Amino acid sequence: MLKVFTRVSTISTITTLLLCLLLAASFASAASLAAEAIGEVVYMAGTVRAQQPNSTARDLDLESPIFPRDTVVTSRYSQVEIRFKDGTILAQGNDAEISLDDYVYSTDVSASKLLFKMSTGTFRVVTGEIVKLNPEAFILQTRFTTLGIRGTQPFIKIEEDASDMVGVIELTPGYTVSVTSARQTVSFDRAGLFTNINRDGEMSDPAPTPPAVQRAIQRAAPMTSLGELGARGSKDDMKRKVKTFEKHVEREKKGIGDHDGHGDDGHPDYGSIHHITVQQTGLKNAKDQKEGKSSAISDGSSSLGGDHPDDGHPDDGDDGHGDDHGDGGGGH
Amino acid sequence: MIFMFIKRFMGILLAMTFFAGCMAGQIAQRRGDKAYRANDYETAAQEYSEAATSGNRDAQYHLGAMYIEGQGVPKDLVKGADLLRQAAEQGQNDAQLMYGLLNIYGDGVPVDPEEGVRWLTTAANGGNDIAMYYLGTLYAMGLGVEKNILTALQWMEKAKDSGFPVKEELLTESGLSALYTE
């Protein structure tokens, strides 16, 4: 009897120990993941998931951390905006997928790097500190191209059975963006240009992005960080949007306080002060939108659902792909 | 009698012209807002310029800030400061803050910390938490005003209560004194 009791006791002790070890391991894993977070979700609507290479997946929400090697996937009627530690901002439209293969932001200039691979969907990027520290190591890849970026705001649109579309919404004066395929390189030296790249690596000559295309891209992947309101969404999405703008205002003000009210030149950061006004207007509009007031300005779109007809893509009629722009070998 | 009628008619006509001007300014300002949010800063500057000319204070503020930043227009601190002054004089709260700071640091206008503090106080009294924070730092430094840590503390507390994330060390007399020693 005593022997049986001792054996049960031993098994129980081992089980407890194993459980403790498992718990410790999971805490350690969570802690290490938290320490490794490279960014966070600053805005989202609909359903957005992040998946690690080992197939563990998690649903994202506002302020969810983003980890290296996450693949971020948006579903239909969904959008997400991620702010990375160096200030790089990524906006992603519906039915889109991006793999955050490599991201290091370090005081060691040569160690800082970023490699994101986009496989499908619409994306916009505002570059942050990494581009300034180590421009050669800031790389965005699509199926058919690699983008070299030097301080700018590019957009990328990738559709199945179509050419990749790459353009620039804003470009720091004196800088260029190079788009390189397997066959050629095209450079942009000013904002407002785009090129189409087909699967053979042929690229169209840079041409002005039609305003309707740019508007469609901005609606598909809104940058709330820049004060864009984006489309209306579900009740939960509207609540998230109000919170998004509250956080943007808070973040900007914190930035002013952290630097004792001064920019790099010892003078006030007038740009940040102006940006707070823009974000406060965004907050007011988001609140109006949530309450269904007609004064809300929705940047030309009525709703997430309304923006996305049957194929889930906004304004496909004038999106720069296909017959409307048969320019320069960007064949499908 | 006819004279009275003409006088009234002219008055109504003037009021209507003024109202139409305001409406046109507001419409141009809204177009400017939309273009600004779409990152189309050149169009935004054109729209704001049209609205600012008709006296729209929000457009004057945005266009002034864009000149200060060189956003969509060539950087021009003097032009920016002039537009911000116009907006501030019309009671635009954010413009009062920014015009006050321009005076303190001599950006686009001659350095005049006292004038700067006057505008910041107007903005702060209008509820601007950023202006409250800057006033706190100015009283702690003794810039544009006589140094007064207690008043500095009061402005910091007001800024915090109004939503500005004031650092903890700036919410005590000793913290403020230590940070802003001569």
CB contact under 8 A, B130 and A267: no
How far off is chain A from B137, nearest CA to CA, in Å? 8
CB B138 within 8 A of CB B131: no
Tell me whether residue A6 is in a domain: no
Give the CATH number, domain containing residue A172.
2.60.120.1440
Contacts of B65 in chain A (CB under 8 A): 270, 273-274, 277
Same domain, A218 and A271: no
Tell me whether residue A23 is in a domain: no
Task: Give per-residue pLDDT as tens, A108-126.
Answer: 888 999 999 999 999 999 9
CB B59 within 8 A of CB B53: no
Nearest 5°: the CA angle A221, A251, A302 is: 30
Of A179, A226, A234, A238, residue with least CA distance to A205: A179
Query: What SS3 state is found at B30?
Result: helix
Token pair for A224? 């709330």
Same domain, A111 and A163: yes
Domains and CATH numbers, chain B: 1-90 (1.25.40.10)
Q: Which residue among A224, A252, A278 closes a domain?
A: A224
For residue A103, give Cα distances in angstroms to A22, A43, A79, A139, B138: 29, 20, 22, 10, 41
Same domain, A239 and A170: no
Same domain, A179 and A276: no
Provide the pLDDT for residue B86. 98
Same domain, A249 and A122: no
Q: Which residue among A194, A224, A254 closes a domain?
A: A224
Tell me whether residue A40 is in a domain: yes
CB contact under 8 A, B163 and A278: no
Tell me whether residue A8 is in a domain: no
Domain total of chain A: 2
Residue A218 domain boundaries: 35-224
CB B166 within 8 A of CB A257: yes
A7 touches chain B (CB under 8 A): no
Same domain, A280 and A152: no
Q: Which residues pair with A51 in a beta bridge?
A: A57, A71
Same domain, A218 and A239: no
Closest partner CB to B105 (pick from A214, A268, A271) = A268
Tell me whether residue A330 is in a domain: no
Same domain, A166 and A278: no
Provide the pLDDT for residue B90. 97
The Cα–Cα gap between B24 and B22 comes to: 5
Same domain, A121 and A259: no
Of A120, A308, A311, A315, residue with least CA distance to A232: A308
Closest partner CB to A273 (pick from B34, B39, B130) = B130
Query: What SS3 state is found at A243?
Result: helix
Which of B29, B37, B99, B138 is the best substitution to test chain A (most A C-beta atoms within 10 A)?
B37
Tell me whether residue A109 is in a domain: yes
Same domain, A219 and A244: no
Chain B residue closest in CA terms to A254:
B165
Chain A residue closest in CA terms to B70:
A271
Q: What is the mean pLDDT of chain B?
A: 91
Same domain, A240 and A197: no
Same domain, A210 and A282: no
Task: Give per-residue pLDDT as tens, B45-80.
Answer: 999 999 999 999 999 999 999 999 999 999 999 999
Task: Give per-residue pLDDT as tens, A227-277.
Answer: 888 777 888 889 999 999 999 999 999 999 888 888 778 899 999 999 999
Residues A310-323 as b/e (b if ≥16 CB within 10 A, e otherwise) read eebbbbbeebbbbe
Tell me whether residue A107 is in a domain: yes
